[in-house]
Amino acid sequence: MVDGVKFLKNSTTPRLFVAATRQNDGKTTTSLGLLAAIQQTYPRVGYIKPVGQRFVDIQHQKIDEDTVLMDRVYGLNCPLNDMSPIAVETDFTRRYLRTSNYAALASRIQRAFDRVAWEKDLVVCEGTGHAGVGSVFDLSNARVAKLVGAKVVIVTRGGIGRPIDEVALNQALFEKEDVDIIGVILNKVMPNKVEQITEFAQKGLRRRGLDLLGVIPHVRLLSSPTMDLIREELQAEPINGLEYIHSIVDDVVVGAMSVAHARKFFRAGALLIVHGDREDLIESLAVSSSGGASLKLAGMILTDDLKPNDRMIELIRRLPYPVLLTSEGSYDVASKVRDVIVKTRSDDTEKISLIRDLIRSHVDVSKILNAII
């Protein structure tokens, strides 16, 4: 019993809790890859994100977006509302602090876990942020891991000093809740430093009684947004066809310059942000595209709600990359694009394939399974 809440009924199905030291360390990426790797040995895998903070409305239910991703990619055959039992809405914390309904929330998580685990070989639980996230409503990641009886893998960003310091903080909270930590995965390590960081991270973690389970090299593709994600974040209007909307953005350029100067930025992966009335730039891009010079440009965003004239629209519709229109100014758009949180989506097939390969190649999945089975 945890603070008056009975333990969940299912105590036999193996379960793994994927935590992190901070937001965007790679929990979802790791969970996505682990599901594929685990299915090679245990085909019937369940997934649950007990507490979610970013959600979408599906059939009048608020479902965490990572839950939607896992379900669409793997077809997990679990009810979505059980895979995402608690959605932290805008006023969730205030309502909780007024009513303090911990027992009801904890029981909801445990009942959801029992249903997700039904006839499954193993369940992957994904946390939200670092170990302490959710403490304000008594459902920190450490507490949730305890409620579902799971052992933990901690994902942190590559390095030696800061990652191990942050792991130590998270370790303290998990240990306070009497939750076992299987080990640590270092993510987003610069490829030329993998060998060095592996050696010293192993030494540092071993001093804390923790195993290093894997070192995943940084791959820029996984940190780069697609044009579709940017369209969604900006609520921008597509002007031409959507067949190129999943192109990857590697660089952002604000086209507040002459055409001659701008041409050097017409390259693969570049997103050009320009005022909608810059007909000179649009025509230059059209000419370059007809010659094949910029066929892999990531896209273009026209700002300030300045929609080009009909002749320009016809040129844009023939461009082999997406063009979006937004009411926001160029520098506001550039700032939002650079700050966008890159999340893998179910139609990002190239990214998903890469994630599976990275986890399979760089994480000791067998050690994780041996620790929970």
CA angle 282, 288, 289 (to 5 degrees): 90
What is the predicted pLDDT for the residue at 3? Answer: 62
Task: Tell me the pLDDT of the chain (373 aa) as tens digits.
Answer: 556 565 567 889 999 999 999 888 899 999 999 999 999 999 999 999 999 988 888 887 889 999 999 999 999 988 999 999 999 988 899 999 998 899 999 999 999 999 999 999 999 999 998 889 999 999 999 999 999 999 999 999 988 899 999 999 999 999 999 999 999 999 999 999 999 999 999 999 999 999 999 999 999 888 888 999 999 999 999 998 788 888 889 888 887 777 777 777 778 888 999 888 888 888 887 777 665 544 568 899 999 998 888 888 888 888 888 999 999 998 899 999 888 878 888 888 889 999 999 999 999 999 999 999 8
Q: Calculate the dihedral angle through the C-alpha atoms of 242, 307, 319, 257, rounding to the nearest 10 degrees.
A: -130
Backbone φ and ψ of 169, nearest 5°? -60, -45
CA angle 347, 352, 358 (to 5 degrees): 170
CA-to-CA distance for 64 and 82, rounded, in angstroms?
A: 11
| Amino acid at residue number 108 | R
Give the Å distances, CA to CA, from 211 to 154, 181, 203, 364.
10, 9, 9, 10
| Amino acid at residue number 217 | P
Backbone φ and ψ of 339, nearest 5°? -95, -5
- Secondary structure (3-state) at 103: helix
- Helices and strands in the chain: count of H runs, count of E runs: 16, 15
> How far is Cα of residue 277 from the mean position of the Cα atoms in its chain?
36
The CATH class of the 227-339 domain is: alpha beta
Produce one character per residue of 100-122: b if its CB has 16 or more CB atoms within 10 Å, e if not: eebeebbbebbebbbbbbeebbb
Give the Å distances, CA to CA, from 363 to 96, 215, 369.
38, 7, 12
What is the predicted pLDDT for the residue at 294? Answer: 45
What is the predicted pLDDT for the residue at 178? Answer: 96
Global pTM? 0.85
| Rounded (to 5) percent helix, strand, coil in the chain | 45, 20, 35
Domain range list for the chain: 15-219+345-372, 227-339
The first and second tokens of residue 201, run together, are 């991270």
> Exposed, middle or buried: residue 2 (CB in 10 Å: 0-12, 13-18, 19+)?
middle
| Amino acid at residue number 290 | S
What is the predicted pLDDT for the residue at 291? Answer: 53
CA-to-CA distance for 27 and 69, rounded, in angstroms?
A: 13
Residues contacting 5, CB < 8 A, separation 6+ = 102, 103, 106, 107, 110, 147
- CATH homologous superfamily of 15-219+345-372 equals P-loop containing nucleotide triphosphate hydrolases (3.40.50.300)
CA-to-CA distance for 105 and 42, rounded, in angstroms?
A: 30
Backbone φ and ψ of 136, nearest 5°? -60, -30
